[in-house]
Amino acid sequence: MKPENRIGIFLCECGGKISNRIDLPQVSELLRYEPWEHLGVYPYPCLAPGLEAIKQDVQAKGLNRILVGGCSSRVMKKRFTKALAPLGLERHQVEMINLKDHVAAVHEATPQELAHKAAALIAGGMASLRLLEPFEPVSLTFEGPALILGGGFSGFIAARELARHGMESVLFSKAQSPERVLDELHWTFPGCRIFCGDLADLLREVFTHPRVKVMPDQPIDYIVGGVGDYHVGLKQPDGSVTEVAGAAIITALDREYGPGNIDYIGGGERVCDLLELEEKLGAGDISPGKMVFWVNSPQHGQAAQELAAMAAWRDSLVLAREHPQVQPMVVYPANITLPLSGNDLREARTQGIGLMSYAPEVHPVVQSGFLSFVSPGDNLEHEVEWDTLVVPGAPADPVEKAQELLRWLPIYPENGGRLQKSHIKFWPDQIPDESLFFTGSAGGVCDLNEVIQQGKKAARGVLNLREKALQGKLVSPVVVHVDKDLCEGCGLCTEICPCGGIEHVKPGSGPIARETDNHLCSGGGTCAATCPYEAIKVLNNSTQQLEARLKAILSRMKENEILGFVCGWGGLASAEQAAVKGLTYPKGIYLTPVNCLGSLDPFILSMAFLNGAKGIMLAGCTPKHSCHYHYGVDHCWYRVNAMKKLLSLAGLERRRIAIGYVEVNEPESFVRMVEANMDVLDKLPPLPQDDQTKARLWAIHATLHRPRVRWVLGTSLRRPTEKEFPGSQFNAVDADETMLEVLREEFLAARIIKAISDQPLNPPGIALTMGEPVKSITPLLPDMAQEGRIKLQGWEGGYPIYGLGKK
C-alpha cells in the first residue's frame, strides 16, 4: 500500500433506486473540497461494465483507497474486493457507504436534504480511509510436535492420524499402557467393551509409534505462545517446571460418568449401575439369570438416555456372546430414538436380547424381581422379571483436567457444565484458519464413534496448518497490534478477550507487554476499548479511524440530529432489512456500522458529545447468546453506563445516550427503537454551547482517557468465563457507587485541569471558573500536584497558584 492517500469515490445510481432519492450531483458538489482524486457517478458500479470503469479509473489515477457509495457492504463488498484484488488493492482499502439502505430507501425527505446526509456519511468514510496504515502480514513457522492435552480418548486417534501422516506428537495421558487405557475407558465411555479388540490395536499403534511420545499426565502450570509456537509448562513433583514446546495444541477432554441413581431402589448386590456392571464384566464375575437394563433418569436429557441405551445394548451383546447363562433385556423410554440399525435388531433376535420401550409419562416401578412399566403400544402395564437390574450411570462434569486447561485456553463452560470453544460465529473468511482444536465428550454428551471422528478432524486440521506452513502460506493477518511502549502488562486484555487472541504470559513473569495471536483473534476489539493505557489497536479498523470518521460526520450534522451506532450483526442487519422492507424512519439519525458495539471505546462517546452530537443511540445484538463476540454488547453497556453517569455529573440529561438490542430479522423493532429514541431526544434542547458546558464535556472526554477510570471500567466488565448476567449481580449497588465515586473524583480533576489550562489560578479562582464551591476542590489540589498532573507555581496573597506548565 502506498502511504500517499489517493481516494476514489464511486457513487452508484442503482438504476434510479439511489439517484431518484438522493441528488447525486449535489453530493458531488458538497464533497468538492474533500481531498479525493476521483469522484464519479455510475449507473451500476457493481456490474461488469461498472467494475471495468472502476478498474480503469484506479489504474489511470493510481487510486489506492476506494469508496463506493452504494449498498450494503455485507453483501457487495466481496464483489468489489474480488474485482480489485488483481490491482493490488486489499480488502480494507475498499470502503462502502450504504447510501441505498441507510439514506435513500428509509427517509421521506427531498433529494437535496438526503444529499446532505449522504455527503456527511461519505466524508466520514473518507476520513476513516485516510488513516489506513500499511502492514506486512506475518509469516508463521510451524515446527515441532502437536501437543495433545487433556487425556481424552480422541487424543489417541488424533495422535495416530498425525503419526500416520508423518507428524510428531506428544500425548499426555494418565494411563501409560494400552491395557490401562482400556481398563479405565468405561469411566468416560460406558458400554465400549465390545470394541476393545479394535481399540487395543489402535492404542498399541499409538504407544509404540516412533512419532508419538506418550508422557505421563502432569499438572499444567501455564500455556503460552500462539499458533505454530506453543509452550506448555508442566509442574514436576519436586516443584520445578519443565517446558514442552509444540506447533499446535489439541485439547481432548472427556466427560466422566458418575454412579447411577440406584440408592432409591435398594436391592443390594442385585441392583447395580452400568459402571459396576462393566467392572464385573472385566472380572468375569457375572451371576446368571435375567438381567434387565433400565434406561431411566430423564433429568439428564435425551442425549444421555440415548447414550445409555446404546451402552446397555452393547453390554447386552457382550453378555449374550460371552455369558450365555444371562438373558439380557433393555427397557428404554419411548421418546428417545433407539440408535440401532436393522442389522442390530436382527442380531438382537438371534441372540435373544429383549428390547422393550416404556411410556415415559408413567415412571416404571421396581418391585422385588419385577419391573413394571406402561407400554406405549397398548397403554397397558407390563412386567418384566429380573434377577439383576442395571441402571445407567449419570453423566458428570468434564474430567478435572479441564479446570487446569480452561484457565489458559478459550474454552468456556456453558450452562449444564458443557464445555464449548469460544462460541464465536463468523463468516469463514473473517478467521484465517481453524487453529483451536477441542475434541471429546466434554463438549456435549456423545458416543465413542463421534469422539473418534472429532479426533480425526482435529488431526486433519493440524495437518492442514502444517501443509500451509510448508508452502509458506501460513500467514497471520495483523488484526490487533499492541504498542509495546504503551503496554504496562496489566493483563486486563487477556482476561477480557473471549477468543484467545491476546496471549497469556507465564505466571510470575511480572508486568510484560502482551503479544497477540492473530490466528485466534476475532477482531471484536473490546480489548482495545478496554486497555487502560490505550496501547491496543485493531489495525485498519482502529478507534482513531472511527474518531476521524465521526468528527467528519458531526461537522456536517445539523444541531437536532443524532449519531447512531449499529453493530455489524443484529443492528446492521435489521437496519438494512428495514430498507428492504420499505420501512421508513426519521432522517435525523446518522448510522455508523461497527464490528461489535464492544469495540466502541468509551472516549468515542464523549468525543461525539464534545463535537456537538445531540444524542447517541446504539443498537446491538441481544446480550447473552446472540452477541457474536461473546460479551461485546455487555461490555458496551458498561461503557454507556459510565457515560450516563458522567453526563449526569456534568448536569446533562442521561437520556442523551441510549443502548438498544435488536436481532437479525427484526427490522420493525429497529425502526420502533429509532423512532422512540428520536421522540425522547426531540424533547431535549440541543447541547448548550456555552463555555461552562463545553468545559464540562471536555472534562468528560479527559476523564474517559484516564488510565484509572479505564482500569476501573475494565475490571467491572464481564469476563468470558462468567456465565449469567442478570440474576447474579453481586453487590450491584455498591459496585456502582464505587464506580461513581471514581468518576466523580476524576471528572472534578479534569475540570480543574481545564480551568487552569489557559492561565494559572489560585483555588478560589479555579472554583469561580468552574462554578463550584471552593471546599469541593481544595482536597483534590495537593494530591493532583503531588501526582504531577498540575504544578504549584508559587504563592500569592496566601493562596497557592496552580498551573499546568512549569512556570
Partner 1 sequence: MSAQKTKQGKKTKEGKKAKKEKDDGLIRFKINGQPVQAREGWTILETARQNGVKIPTLCFHPAVEAIGSCRLCVVEIQQNGHTRVAASCITPVQGGVDVLTDSEEVQNVRRWVLEMLLAHCPASHQIRELAKEYGVTSTRFKTEHPEDACPRCGLCVRACDEIVGIRAISLGNRGVFKEVTAPYHQRSADCIRCGTCLYICPTGAMEQLFPQVSAP
- CA-nearest of 154, 157, 153, 152 to 205 is 157
Binder among 4, 263, 378, 429 for partner 1 (CB under 8 A):
429
Q: Which stretch binds partner 1 (CB under 8 A): 71-79, 317-325, 601-609, 791-799?
A: 71-79
Q: Which stretch binds partner 1 (CB under 8 A): 47-55, 180-188, 476-484, 798-806?
A: 47-55
Q: To the nearest whole angstrom, how small is the minimum distance from the Cβ of residue 565 to partner 1?
A: 17
The verdict on 59 binding partner 1 (CB under 8 A) reads: no
The verdict on 91 binding partner 1 (CB under 8 A) reads: no
Q: Which stretch binds partner 1 (CB under 8 A): 46-54, 110-118, 646-654, 731-739?
A: 46-54
Q: To the nearest whole angstrom, how small is the minimum distance from the Cβ of residue 728 to partner 1?
A: 22
The verdict on 74 binding partner 1 (CB under 8 A) reads: yes
Binder among 50, 125, 398, 410 for partner 1 (CB under 8 A):
50
The verdict on 81 binding partner 1 (CB under 8 A) reads: no
**Within 10 Å of residue 276's Cβ, how many Cβ atoms?**
18
Binder among 576, 601, 634, 746 for partner 1 (CB under 8 A):
576
Q: To the nearest whole angstrom, how small is the minimum distance from the Cβ of residue 175 to partner 1?
A: 34
> What mask of x and - would describe binding to partner 1 in positions 592 to 631, judged by CB under 8 A?
---------------------------------xx-x---
Q: To the nearest whole angstrom, how small is the minimum distance from the Cβ of residue 195 to partner 1?
A: 27
Q: To the nearest whole angstrom, how small is the minimum distance from the Cβ of residue 55 to partner 1?
A: 11
Strands laid side by side in the 229-235 sheet: 220-226, 229-235, 241-246
Q: To the nearest whole angstrom, how small is the minimum distance from the Cβ of residue 726 to partner 1?
A: 18
Binder among 357, 574, 641, 769 for partner 1 (CB under 8 A):
574
Under 8 Å CB-to-CB from 245, ≥6 apart: which residues?
Answer: 144, 225, 229, 230, 231, 232
Residue 228: φ, ψ to 5°: 95, -20
Binding to partner 1, residues 646-685 (CB under 8 A) = 663-665
**Element at 69 (helix H, strand E):** strand 65-69
The verdict on 10 binding partner 1 (CB under 8 A) reads: no
Cα–Cα dist 555/150, whole Å: 56
Query: Which ranges of 33-72 does DSSP label H, i.e. alpha helix?
Result: 48-61
| 28 versus 762: smaller Cβ distance to partner 1 | 28
Binding to partner 1, residues 626-645 (CB under 8 A) = 626, 628
Q: To the nearest whole angstrom, how small is the minimum distance from the Cβ of residue 602 to partner 1?
A: 27
| 42 versus 222: smaller Cβ distance to partner 1 | 42
Binder among 53, 245, 303, 486 for partner 1 (CB under 8 A):
53
Binder among 30, 39, 46, 538 for partner 1 (CB under 8 A):
46
Q: Which stretch binds partner 1 (CB under 8 A): 41-49, 126-134, 601-609, 796-804?
A: 41-49
The verdict on 208 binding partner 1 (CB under 8 A) reads: no
Q: To the nearest whole angstrom, how small is the minimum distance from the Cβ of residue 216 to partner 1?
A: 37
| 52 versus 322: smaller Cβ distance to partner 1 | 52
Binder among 4, 32, 33, 48 for partner 1 (CB under 8 A):
48
Q: Which stretch binds partner 1 (CB under 8 A): 348-356, 421-429, 447-455, 770-778?
A: 421-429
Residue tagged 491496543 (cell numbers): 536
Q: To the nearest whole angstrom, how small is the minimum distance from the Cβ of residue 333 to partner 1?
A: 22
| 15 versus 25: smaller Cβ distance to partner 1 | 15
Burial 484-493 (b: 16+ CB within 10 A, else e): eeebebbebb
Q: To the nearest whole angstrom, how small is the minimum distance from the Cβ of residue 47 to partner 1?
A: 4
Cα–Cα dist 601/599, whole Å: 6
- CA-nearest of 304, 370, 368, 352 to 332 is 304
**Within 10 Å of residue 403's Cβ, how many Cβ atoms?**
12
Q: To the nearest whole angstrom, how small is the minimum distance from the Cβ of residue 49 to partner 1?
A: 4
| 74 versus 270: smaller Cβ distance to partner 1 | 74
3 state SS of 326? strand
DSSP states of 651-717 as a string? T--GGGEEEEE--TT-HHHHHHHHHHHHHHHHTSPPPP-SHHHHHHHHHHHHHHH-HHHHHHHHHTS
Q: To the nearest whole angstrom, how small is the minimum distance from the Cβ of residue 309 to partner 1?
A: 21
Write the CA distances from 181 to 151, 195, 470, integer angstroms.
10, 13, 34
The verdict on 85 binding partner 1 (CB under 8 A) reads: no
Q: What angle do CA 685, 608, 587 make, to 5 degrees?
A: 60
Q: To the nearest whole angstrom, how small is the minimum distance from the Cβ of residue 793 to partner 1?
A: 58
The verdict on 47 binding partner 1 (CB under 8 A) reads: yes
Binder among 1, 34, 43, 789 for partner 1 (CB under 8 A):
43
| 625 versus 775: smaller Cβ distance to partner 1 | 625
Q: Which stretch binds partner 1 (CB under 8 A): 284-292, 484-492, 565-573, 590-598?
A: 565-573
Fill in the amino acid letter for 768. L
The verdict on 72 binding partner 1 (CB under 8 A) reads: yes
The verdict on 409 binding partner 1 (CB under 8 A) reads: no
Q: To the nearest whole angstrom, how small is the minimum distance from the Cβ of residue 46 to partner 1?
A: 4
Q: To the nearest whole angstrom, how small is the minimum distance from the Cβ of residue 196 to partner 1?
A: 33
Residue tagged 446533562 (cell numbers): 652
Q: To the nearest whole angstrom, how small is the minimum distance from the Cβ of residue 541 to partner 1?
A: 17
The verdict on 345 binding partner 1 (CB under 8 A) reads: no
Cα–Cα dist 296/136, whole Å: 59
What's 564's DSSP letter? E
The verdict on 18 binding partner 1 (CB under 8 A) reads: no
C-alpha cell at 221: 502450570
Dihedral angle, C-alpha 778, 782, 783, 788, nearest 10 ° = 130
Contact 535, 487 (CB under 8 A): yes
Helix-strand-coil split of the chain, %, nearest 5:
45, 20, 35
Residue 50: φ, ψ to 5°: -65, -45
| 53 versus 338: smaller Cβ distance to partner 1 | 53
| 627 versus 784: smaller Cβ distance to partner 1 | 627
Under 8 Å CB-to-CB from 59, ≥6 apart: which residues?
Answer: 87
Fill in the amino acid letter for 628. H
| 75 versus 396: smaller Cβ distance to partner 1 | 75
C-alpha cell at 19: 439517484
Binder among 33, 264, 427, 730 for partner 1 (CB under 8 A):
427
Under 8 Å CB-to-CB from 563, ≥6 apart: which residues?
Answer: 550, 553, 554, 557, 589, 590, 592, 608, 613, 615, 616, 617
Binder among 577, 592, 611, 769 for partner 1 (CB under 8 A):
577
Contact 390, 297 (CB under 8 A): no
Write the CA distances from 674 to 72, 616, 619, 652, integer angstroms.
20, 11, 9, 21
The verdict on 465 binding partner 1 (CB under 8 A) reads: no
How many chain residues are in contact with partner 1, going by CB under 8 A?
A: 38
Cα–Cα dist 598/180, whole Å: 48
- CA-nearest of 351, 440, 442, 331 to 392 is 331
| 75 versus 365: smaller Cβ distance to partner 1 | 75
Contact 630, 422 (CB under 8 A): yes
Residues at the site binding partner 1, with contacts judged by CB under 8 A: 15, 42-44, 46-50, 52-53, 56, 72, 74-76, 78-79, 425-429, 569-570, 572-574, 576-577, 580-581, 625-626, 628, 663-665
